[in-house]
């Protein structure tokens, strides 16, 4: 081979495109990578366990709890007493019938009215103390924010309604309320008053200037007591139980 032929071959080798060998090696690497990711003919079957959706079981519905009921009258006389619309009502019966508790619950219908002014009385301070204790259990639950004043013996609601709890030991005790006005007055155990003087006098205190409030006088009693005779004459003799009637002074006009 001549010197010219050798030079010609060197020129041809130098003129080959650069990277030819790199492309070849790159192609090999791609083949290796592809072979590594190629799935095999073997397959794995995963077991699937079917599950039922969860069932939520709600707690039994309790109407009283849902409505936050703090007092519910017993069917019968207690319900009838609280539903009465007459101005004067006597709730009589044997001890243990819930009469005093109903009398505590009765003013709650309007007690939160800012113009409400009520009076609940017992014959002696000892009897009154028990009634106050029961009211301290009921009223804060029924009217949140209501306050008791030991000095005044008075409940005051957040909106300004007031209920006094007091005693009338003697007939002259009614003079403490001369000039005052109440839209609600209740006597607990009315037959403990030997005469109708206190009841009749407190009738003159029953008034209100508010068009939103009605006038009520309420009384409870057990059979017997020093005032049994006049209470029977005023409330029992004129009509059958649960029957409205005109009061004594109206029947004798």
For residue range 212-230, list pLDDT tens digits in order. 999 999 999 998 899 999 9
In a domain, 18, yes or no: no
Q: What is the pTM of this model?
A: 0.71
Give residue for tokens 């029961």. Answer: 134
The per-residue pLDDT for 69 is 78
Contact 193, 220 (CB under 8 A): no
- What's the rounded Cα separation, in Å, for the pair 190 and 219? 6
- What's the rounded Cα separation, in Å, for the pair 161 and 104? 15
Q: How far is CA 10 from CA 4, 14, 19, 20, 176, in A?
A: 10, 6, 18, 17, 138
CA-based nearest residue to 113, from 216, 214, 218: 214
Range of the domain at 180: 87-251
In a domain, 233, yes or no: yes
Strand 154-156 to 147-149 pairing = antiparallel
If one counts the domains in the chain, the total is 1
Q: Which CATH number belongs to the domain containing residue 162 in this structure?
A: 3.40.50.300
Percent of the chain with pLDDT over 90: 58
- What's the rounded Cα separation, in Å, for the pair 221 and 49? 73
In a domain, 77, yes or no: no
In a domain, 5, yes or no: no
In a domain, 10, yes or no: no
Instruction: Using 70 as the pLDDT threshold, list the residues of the chain that sit under it.
Output: 1-67, 248-253
The per-residue pLDDT for 253 is 42
In a domain, 54, yes or no: no
In a domain, 110, yes or no: yes
CA-based nearest residue to 198, from 223, 178, 215: 178
In a domain, 130, yes or no: yes
The per-residue pLDDT for 96 is 74
Fill in the DSSP letter of residue 71.
Answer: -
């Amino acid at each position: 081979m001549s010197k010219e032929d050798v030079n010609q071959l060197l020129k041809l080798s130098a003129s080959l495109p650069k990277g030819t060998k790199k492309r070849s090696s790159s192609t090999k690497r791609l083949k290796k990578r592809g072979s590594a990711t190629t799935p095999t003919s073997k397959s794995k079957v995963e077991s699937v366990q079917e599950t039922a959706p969860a069932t939520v079981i709600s707690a039994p519905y309790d109407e009283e709890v849902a409505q936050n009921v703090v007092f519910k009258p017993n069917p019968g006389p207690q319900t009838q007493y609280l539903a009465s619309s007459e101005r004067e009502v006597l709730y009589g019966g044997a001890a243990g019938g819930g009469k005093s508790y109903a009398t505590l619950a009765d003013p709650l219908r309007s007690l939160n009215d800012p113009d409400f002014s009520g009076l609940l009385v017992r014959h002696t301070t000892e009897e009154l103390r028990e009634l106050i204790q029961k009211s301290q259990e009921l009223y804060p639950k029924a009217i949140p924010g209501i306050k008791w004043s030991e000095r005044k013996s008075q409940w005051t609601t957040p909106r300004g309604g007031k209920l006094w709890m007091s005693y009338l030991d003697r007939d002259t005790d009614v003079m403490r309320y001369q000039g005052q006005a109440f839209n609600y007055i209740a006597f607990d155990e009315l037959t403990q008053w030997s005469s109708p003087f206190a009841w009749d006098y407190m009738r003159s205190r029953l008034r209100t200037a508010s068009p939103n409030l009605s006038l009520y006088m309420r009384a409870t009693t057990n059979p017997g007591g020093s005032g049994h005779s006049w209470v029977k004459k005023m409330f029992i003799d004129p009509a059958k139980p649960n029957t409205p009637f005109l009061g004594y002074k109206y029947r004798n006009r």
